Each structure stands twice: as structure tokens, then as C-alpha cells.
Amino acid sequence: MDIRMQNLESDCFYHIYNRGVNGNKIFEEEENYMFFMNKLAKYLQNVCDVYAYCLMPNHFHFLIKIKSNQELLNFANKERKLPKNSGLHSLQNLASKQISKLISSYTQSYNKVYNRHGPLFESPFKRKKIDSEQYLKNVIIYIHQNPIEIKRDFKKYKFSSYPAILSTLKTNVMRNEVVELFYDLENLIFCNDKISDLKF
């Protein structure tokens, strides 16, 4: 089945990820990462909750939970874009469309700044539905440990949700819900500290 036909179902968790075309860089400097995170908040906050993320030089990972049908419908009504019952403009495709808008908007800005043309990311973006609590926890750990790939300390990597979850500063990440998944902050830290060979 074409991945684009796989709807992001309401009230479900998904691992969303993508990389630059041919594995090329998608973030050149710190401002790029910050700009992408601002776009993420703009396009995704109304359609999903973010549980974990990591932005790497040539790819990104998000763990999201799609909002309820009622919340999606409220957003569609607010945007004055009443969804159709089926097809690309249905309520079931609203979250996918917002993720695509995030990617498209970032690409347009990146291309303008770096005087380039064409797609920046592989298409379509990848998605995996999370079907168990253990899988959910494993994906959170995997996402947080991603900076190890580039020999960076994941505990201090600032383009990841891990420092945000440990902090007390305001964040758009579902900090309390993530900590609760691991029972408490101490266990969350313990589980993330274990070097894992999880592959997704």
C-alpha cells in the first residue's frame, strides 16, 4: 500500500521521520533548527501532541499523538476548511496535510536562504503506528539517543526533546505524560541512559 494512503488515525501514536534527499543535510546552522521548530509548533500544535523529537543534520524524528476527531474538527472549523467525508481533504488526512505543510514551508524558506531549488526532503514522509506501550517507550528512547550517531552527548543535545523533558522550563513537549509513561523522572533517566541498539 502507498504510504500516502495510510491515514494518521485520531488518538493514535506515530513515529514520524524523514531525511534529506540522498541523505543530504537539511540543517546547516543553528538558526535552521530553531526555524524548523517554530514551523513545527505552527503547523502541528492543533492536530497532534508531541511526545519526543530529535533534529539531526540530515534527518528528523517526531513521536506524536494525533488529537481526537472532535479536536481535529474544531481546528478545521476554525480554519474554515470543513473536511470532506473521504479523500485527501478528509478529517483523517488533516494531520498528514499539516506535516506536509511543515515540510513544504521549511523547504521553501531553506531554498530561498541557500539559493537552491527542488525538494529538500524525501517524499513522502515516513510514518509508523505505535501499537503497544513498550513500543512507545522504545521509540522515545531511540529518538533521544539519536545524537549518539554523530558522536554527540544526547543528554545535552539541544535539538532534542530530552533536555526539554528534564527541564522545568516551558515546553510544547508532553513532558508530564512522557515521565508518567516511565513511572517517574528517575526511571526515565535510567531507561534513556541504557545504550540501546533499537532500530526503527
CB 100 within 8 A of CB 26: no
Contacting residues for 90 by C-beta, under 8 A, at least 6 apart: 83, 84
What pTM did the predictor assign? Answer: 0.91
Q: Is the dihedral of CA 15, 23, 165, 140 positive or negative?
A: positive
The position carrying cell 513511572 is 183
pLDDT tens figures, 78-127: 876 655 554 545 677 899 999 999 999 999 999 999 999 999 999 999 99
Whether the pLDDT of residue 130 is over 60: the answer is yes
Q: C-alpha grid cell for residue 23?
A: 541523505
Q: What percent of the chain has pLDDT over 90?
A: 78
C-alpha to C-alpha distance for 8 and 128, rounded to whole angstroms: 9
What pLDDT does residue 193 have?
Answer: 87
**Which architecture characterizes domain 3-193 according to CATH?**
2-Layer Sandwich (3.30)
CB 139 within 8 A of CB 131: no
CB 164 within 8 A of CB 158: no
